[in-house]
Structure 1
Amino acid sequence: MTADTRDLAGYAALLEALPAPAAHRTRAAMAREGTPYHGPEHLGRMWRLHREVHGEAGRPLVPLLIAYHDIVYEPAAPAGRNEAASVEAFLRDREACGLDEGQVRQITEAILASADHLGEGIRLRPEDNEWGAWFLDLDLEPLASAHFDRNTERLRVEYAHVPPALFDQGRRAFLERLGTAPYLFRTQAARDLGWEEKARNNLARVLGR
């Protein structure tokens, strides 16, 4: 079974783990066109990796975080707009998901933090929001993936409205900013998996360091 096939199987498993309203909204959102990176495989990979590491722990927070964090995704949107809109979608479904106020807060702050993994993400600590921090690590795991270059190609498709030179300039600036961070991943689980080292190696290769 290829990685893509496993990730699509992970997406199917994610849908089964969600409350019915969340699964319905996720299916509808992932049927959109033009987002080959921010699509079913990305969600499925996150859920697959979570289950490989933590099994069934982290419910209901982790599946909901994965499902809702990109449920609104428009490549041309201003920074932070997609995450804010995704939170709004989540809040419309919160009652059907059967969450308490603390769980709602944890999901909301983690989705908003995913807009800037070096900003709010750094300040979102595992000791304050265990599953939110792990979700952010899952979302950043593609930096450590062997599919790093393929992911870049898929992101380029999503940003087809951006001229090539500007895309390359913006992408490089983003990666350089990541490279200066004291750490990329927050949780012990991510460190044990070697994601920090793998991501640093990918960054160094692309940036010529």
Structure 2
Amino acid sequence: MTSLPPPESERSRDTSLSASWHGDLQVLAPEAPASLRTGEVELLLSRWSEPQRRYHTVQHLVEVLQAIEGLAAAGEVDTVGARLARVAAWYHDVVYDPRAASGSNEHRSAALARDHLNALGVARGSVDVIEALVLMTLDHDASAGPAALASRRHTVEVLHDADLWVLSAPVARYREYARQVRAEYAHVPDDLFTHGRSAILSQFLQREDIYRTGHARRHWRAQAHRNLTTELARLRA
């Protein structure tokens, strides 16, 4: 049976994403043939569209990239850092299996990023930073990390906050996000999911600051606290 073409809005979205990818890779890997860059972005989009995903989808990728752009526009990171953060965003959940052991997805995503960016001809220093950024998303500890991130503090903070933007989303989007997370973990019994999810939300609420950049603290933090508190109360009811 012939498959239907994607809706126009989806095609437009993917075209915009591909243009962003090519723009960044033309700078990071100027010698890479266009066909190689195209093959990679098509692979990435197919990974982000896998059927087991409910939250970690192209929608999440778009939101992270948009958040990076907003933080860059607010002066939280320079042009080079924003580019590295965007490329890291493409890879940070490229491997995603909700049944995988803790940390497996992030480590496998980081390894894939290193292998594929090396094949594209990205400079070793940039590959090191991108790999480390992907691994940072494992525990969202923006203060730690390898030496590769020592001079990229603002880049780390921007990707950290962009990946957690959804916590500060408008109420309707946050509720959708919570439903998507539950759907992704549909194989987990309700009591175990409630316990694990409550622990994660509580950890974020107990942090001195959910976000690391000044812009996110000023504009995202209050809404994030409201969203997290509301969901936690619902889970405990």
Q: TM-score range by the shorter chain?
A: 0.7 to 0.9
Q: Which runs of 5+ in 1 are unaligned?
A: none
Whether the 8 Å contact between 2:169 and 2:223 is mirrored in structure 1 is yes
TM-score when normalising by structure 1:
0.84
Q: Which moved more, 1:149-158 or 1:87-96?
A: 87-96
Q: CA deviation at 1:128?
A: 3.7
Aligned counterpart, 2:223: 198
Whether the 8 Å contact between 2:61 and 2:90 is mirrored in structure 1 is yes
Q: CA deviation at 1:139?
A: 0.5
Post-superposition Cα deviations, 1:6-39, rounded to whole Å, max 9, x if no partner, equal 9986654232222414312212202310212100
Whole-Å Cα distance in 2 between the matches of residues 46 and 154 of structure 1?
16
Aligned counterpart, 1:61: 84
Task: Give the alignment's Cα RMSD to 1 decimal.
Answer: 2.7
Whole-Å Cα distance in 1 between the matches of residues 230 and 9 of structure 2?
27
Per the alignment, in what secondary structure is the counterpart of residue 185 of structure 1?
A: coil
- Percent identity, aligned pairs only, is 26
Answering whether residue 188 of structure 2 is matched by residue 170 of structure 1, we say no
Aligned counterpart, 2:167: 143
Count of residue pairs the alignment pairs up = 202
**One-letter amino acid of the counterpart of residue 121, structure 1:** A
Per the alignment, in what secondary structure is the counterpart of residue 86 of structure 2?
A: helix
Q: Which runs of 5+ in 2 are unaligned?
A: 1-7, 26-36
Post-superposition Cα deviations, 1:95-134, rounded to whole Å, max 9, x if no partner, equal 34443233222211111110112xx334358964322320
**One-letter amino acid of the counterpart of residue 77, structure 1:** A
Aligned counterpart, 2:142: 121
Q: CA deviation at 1:198?
A: 1.3
Q: How does 1:35-54 map to 2 (within 5 A)?
A: 35-54=53-72
Answering whether residue 135 of structure 2 is matched by residue 112 of structure 1, we say yes
TM-score when normalising by structure 2:
0.75
